[in-house]
Each structure stands twice: as structure tokens, then as C-alpha cells.
Amino acid sequence: MSTPKEKSTQALRWNIVDQTLSQGLNLSINIVLMWYLIDLDFGVVVVPMVVLGFFKVIQDLGYSNALIHHRDLDQSDLSSVFWFLIFLGFLFTAIMYLMAPVVSWWTENEYSGDAVRQLSPVIAVTSLYWISESLLIKRLQFKKIFMANLIAISVSGIIAIYLAAHGWAYHSLVIKALVHVVLVCAGYFILSGWWPSFKYDRGFVQKLGSYSFPLAIEQGLSELAKNFDSIIISRFLGSASVGLYDRAYKLVTYPVRQFSAGYSKVLFPILSDIQDERMRQSEIYLRLLEMVGFLVFPASISLFIFAEPLTFFILGSGWSGIIPMIKIFSILGLVMSMSAVGNSVFLATGETKLQMKITVFTRILLMVAILVSCLWFRKVEIVALVYTGVMCLSLFIEWNFLEKILHFNFEKIWNALKPSMMSSVLVAAIFYFTLKMWNEDVTRVVLLISLMLAYFVLYFVFLKLGNRVFFTRNVTLLKKFIQ
């Protein structure tokens, strides 16, 4: 029988496999779709997808995370929450459907309103699998989650590419979302092996709400603030601008968010099991932060350096407008990956109200800054820069409170990140000036791949020479996951 440590390691391994393949497959699908669709097609669905994302975040009112955090659950408890979430799902589906005229008015595009109506059933279907997904996560059965996600992404992506190639324009993106959610729902239900019974305990639902409601508010505000930029850009700068901005943001941050979601899903139940042991939680947090920096620092900074040749090689000159934003968002991706580690700590320690207060402050600041920058400068690049700057500030605020919760100081955070950061910056400087002085066309596939491989090889060489203990510790941990 596997020990808790072995189960946690296996779960993290499968979750990393899931997130790595999922993000790779999704990224590939999105790139192919960009070959057939234009910025206006993506611009049409940006705001509808924002509306959908907001409702998907708040529709369970934080109950899915509350179920993972709660230690003792029976069939009555699970069924009670299931029926409550079904009610909320259909309620929010109706609300989203009725918002179509508002979206058409805001974007000055009737197709965006149509997309809202077409996407609204996603909310109802999503409400069906919240419990199944929570149980799979709670049991650390990430292999099953991987199987369901892989099938859903593959099938929905193939269908979307086929439709886009045959002139379905933005409708291909809508159908992709609908097919994906149906397949995920079916997969989670079948693989979890759980089915609801006709029981409803109102008292348990209310009791669990004391934990979940603050979390739902925090997540809802975070989702709204995260997409506030797209909402404002769509209104004042038009569908083409928001299409470029949205593509740059998602191409860069989607892999990071998927990767972050991977270790966050595993870290949350692990920390919840030791929620009364602050020293162990602190050690786990700093160890994971160190490993995230070890992997994400070189990836983010290399993207900044090679943004231009990568864009021309993969997407072509028609998408050259996203290059400045890809560079800016490469830094944002780094910040997001580190912030995700801290989010699991807030959840596991029960500090959801504190997290909500931090989120309210930082997200309101973010929305004001985005609105001012959009109205004053009217350039999407400036909006991207402001977004990244405020999120950097938000990360330092989160660290300040995590120090108090886990009883460590900022010096330990710096020590966990310094080796990776210094090596990445040093190698980036070498390649930056090399590319500036070199007249060769680096968009050629062999040369571009060779340069990027050389970047990572040099990074690991510098890191090993500069801090052998740090390098060996992280490589050893990664080998365990791979094995």
C-alpha cells in the first residue's frame, strides 16, 4: 500500500503530465486556429468568453474547494452540495443568456451577443461535474483527470480546426468550448464513480458556505479584474485590438496558468492534511517556490528574448502586432506562477477572508490602473505594461502576509529564487546582445531551435557552476517526478 508521501509524489507527477500535455496540445490547437482565423474572429468571442469565465468561477460559490478542505464527507453531504450547485448552474445559465443584448451594446458587435447566447449552456453542464472533479482531486486521482482532459481537448480541438478551415469563423471557437465541456463532464462522472442520491441537507450546505463564500467572492473579483483589461479594450479600442491583446495574453499565460494549476491542485490537499503544522507547511511552500523558479525563470526570460523570431516563425508576419505584448506578458507569466503557490497556502490554512481582502484591494487597484491607462494612452501595449506592473505589486503584498502566516521572512523567499533568477538574467543578457549584433535571419527553424537549446544549456551550466547544491536538489526532485 502506498504511503501518503508516495501518493502525493505520484499525484504531482500525473498532474504535471496532465498540465504539460494539456497546455502543449491546447497551445498547438490555438496556433493552428490562428492560421485560419483573423484577429477579428478572436475579438468577437473575447468578451463572451470573459462573461463565461466569470460565471464558471463563481457558479459553485467556492464549494468545490470547500469539499476538498473538509475532512469527513458522506453521501448525503455530497448530494446536498450537488443539487445546490445544479440550481446555481441553471440560474447563472439563464442570467448569462439574458446578458447577450448588453454584450452586443458594449462591444458594438451583434455577433458577440450571439456568442454569449451560444456559450451559456456551458455553465449548466459545468455544474454537473463539480463534485466529481472535487472527489478526484481529493483522492489525488490525477491520472483519471489527465485521461478525461486529454480526450476532451483532442476531440474539441480537431472539430474546431476542421470548422475554422471550412469558413465557420468565430463559430468554430464557440463549438470548441461546447464540445469540450460535454466531454469533460462525461469523463469526470464516469471516472469518479460517484453518482448523486436524492438527499438534501440544508444545514450542511449553509455550514460549508462559511468557508466557501469568501473564497467565491475572492475568485470572482480576481476573474473580473483579470479580464477587466479585455472588457475595457473591447469598448474603447475595438475588436481587432482586443483580439491581438487576447491572443498575446493567452499564448503566454495559458501554459503558465495550466502549469500553476497543476501543482496548486496537488499542493492544496497536501497542505490541508497538515493544516495545523505551520513549520512543515512553510518548508513545503519554500521548496515548491524554489522549484517553480528553477523551471519558470528561464522559460519566461527566454520567451522575452526570442519573442520576435518565434512569432514570425510560428504565426507569420500577419501577427507581428502581438510581439511587444508577448515580451511584456512573459514577465507576467513568471509573476503568476509564483503567486499560484501562495494561493494554495491561503486556502489550506483557512485564511480565505484574508485572501479576499488582499484580492479586493489589489484587483480594484488593477482595474483603476487599466482604465486610466486605456483612456489616457489608448495603446494596448501600455495596458499590458500596467497590468504586469500591478500584478508584481500584488505578489509582494501576498508575500508580506504569507510571511506572517507561515512564520518566515523575505530573505528565505529571496534565497529560494536568487540562483534561478541570477542565472536566467545573466544568460539572457548574453543572448540579447548577441542577437542585436548578429545579422543572420534567426527565424530559420534549425538556427532558432539551436539558439534556444543553447540558451537553456547555458542556463543550467551557469546554475550548476554557481550553486551546485541548489541545482542538484531540483534536478533530483524532477527526476523523481519523471520516474
Residues 232 and 166 in one domain: no
Highest mean pLDDT among 15-19, 57-61, 114-118, 248-252: 114-118
Residues 292 and 191 in one domain: no
Q: pLDDT category, 262, cuts 50, 70, 90?
A: low
Q: What is the pLDDT of residue 386?
A: 93
What are the tens digits of pLDDT across the range 200-252? 777 776 666 665 566 667 667 767 777 888 888 888 888 788 888 988 888 88
Q: Is residue 213 part of a domain?
A: no
Residues 256 and 329 in one domain: yes
CA nearest to 326, candidates 347, 301, 353: 301
Least confident window among 111-115, 152-156, 374-378 = 374-378
Q: What is the pLDDT of residue 275?
A: 67
Mean per-residue pLDDT, 86-105 = 92
Q: Check pLDDT > 90 for residue 27.
A: no
Q: What is the pLDDT of residue 68?
A: 67
Burial class (CB in 10 A: 0-12, 13-18, 19+), 423: buried
Number of Cβ within 10 Å of residue 368's Cβ equals: 12
Structural domain of residue 171, as residue ranges?
Answer: 1-200
Query: Which residue pairs from 140-145 have beta carbons closer than 8 angstroms and sit at least 24 positions apart in sequence?
Result: 140/7, 140/8, 140/10, 140/11, 140/266, 140/269, 141/11, 141/191, 141/192, 142/11, 142/12, 142/14, 142/15, 142/18, 142/265, 142/266, 143/14, 144/191, 144/192, 145/14, 145/15, 145/18, 145/188, 145/191
Highest mean pLDDT among 17-31, 77-91, 434-448: 77-91
What are the tens digits of pLDDT across the range 175-197? 999 999 999 999 988 888 888 88
Q: Is residue 208 part of a domain?
A: no
Q: What is the pLDDT of residue 149?
A: 86
Residues 306 and 441 in one domain: yes
Residues 140 and 246 in one domain: no
Q: pTM above 0.85?
A: no
At what angle are helices 142-165 and 4-36 packed, to 10 degrees?
Answer: 0
Q: pLDDT category, 434, cuts 50, 70, 90?
A: confident
Residues 269 and 416 in one domain: yes
Least confident window among 95-109, 344-358, 393-407 = 344-358
CA nearest to 269, candidates 348, 188, 349: 348
Q: Is residue 217 part of a domain?
A: no
Residues 266 and 150 in one domain: no
Q: Check pLDDT > 60 for residue 3.
A: no
**Interatomic CA distance for residues 334 and 296, integer angstroms:** 6
Q: What is the pLDDT of residue 350?
A: 75
What are the tens digits of pLDDT across the range 417-428? 999 999 999 998
Query: Which residue pairs from 100-108 have beta carbons closer than 8 angstroms and sit at least 24 positions apart in sequence?
Result: 103/47, 103/48, 103/51, 106/47, 106/231, 106/234, 106/235, 107/47, 107/234, 107/235, 107/239
Based on the structure, what is the number of domains in the chain?
2
Q: pLDDT category, 13, cuts 50, 70, 90?
A: low
Q: Check pLDDT > 60 for residue 5.
A: no
**Interatomic CA distance for residues 42 and 245, integer angstroms:** 10
Residues 152 and 262 in one domain: no
Mean per-residue pLDDT, 403-428 = 88
Residues 8 and 154 in one domain: yes
Number of Cβ within 10 Å of residue 175's Cβ equals: 18
What are the tens digits of pLDDT across the range 333-356? 889 888 888 877 787 777 777 877
Q: Check pLDDT > 70 for residue 4.
A: no
Residues 303 and 378 in one domain: yes
Q: What is the pLDDT of residue 132?
A: 83
Residues 169 and 246 in one domain: no
Share of the chain above pLDDT 90, in %: 23
Q: Is residue 429 part of a domain?
A: yes
Q: What is the pLDDT of residue 475?
A: 82
Q: Is residue 2 part of a domain?
A: yes
C-alpha cell at 318: 500577419
Whether the Cβ atoms of residue 181 and residue 56 lie closer than 8 Å to each other: no
Q: What is the pLDDT of residue 295?
A: 85
Residue 68, CA distances (Å) to 14, 22, 75, 189, 247 in order? 18, 23, 15, 17, 33
Q: Is residue 20 part of a domain?
A: yes
Q: Is residue 25 part of a domain?
A: yes
**Interatomic CA distance for residues 464 and 162, integer angstroms:** 46
Q: What is the pLDDT of residue 196?
A: 81
Mean per-residue pLDDT, 160-180 = 94
Q: What is the pLDDT of residue 48?
A: 92
Q: Is residue 436 part of a domain?
A: yes
- What region, left, alpha or beta, does residue 379 occupy, with left being phi > 0 and alpha being psi -120 to 50 degrees? beta
C-alpha cell at 414: 529571496
Q: What is the pLDDT of residue 372?
A: 92
Q: Check pLDDT > 70 for residue 462.
A: yes
- What region, left, alpha or beta, does residue 407 occupy, with left being phi > 0 and alpha being psi -120 to 50 degrees? left
Rounded mean pLDDT of the chain? 82
Q: What is the pLDDT of residue 483?
A: 54
What are the tens digits of pLDDT across the range 265-310? 667 667 767 766 778 888 888 888 888 888 888 888 888 988 888 8
What are the tens digits of pLDDT across the range 64-76? 666 666 666 777 7
Alpha helices in 99-201 (DSSP H): 100-107, 110-119, 121-128, 130-138, 142-165, 171-192
Domain boundary among 200, 219, 244: 200
Tell me the residue ranges of DSSP E strands in 391-452: none
Residues 167 and 250 in one domain: no
Q: What is the pLDDT of residue 439?
A: 62
**Interatomic CA distance for residues 298 and 425, integer angstroms:** 8
C-alpha cell at 136: 478526484
Alpha helices in 239-379 (DSSP H): 239-273, 278-305, 307-314, 323-348, 352-377
Running DSSP on this structure, what letter comes out for residue 37?
S
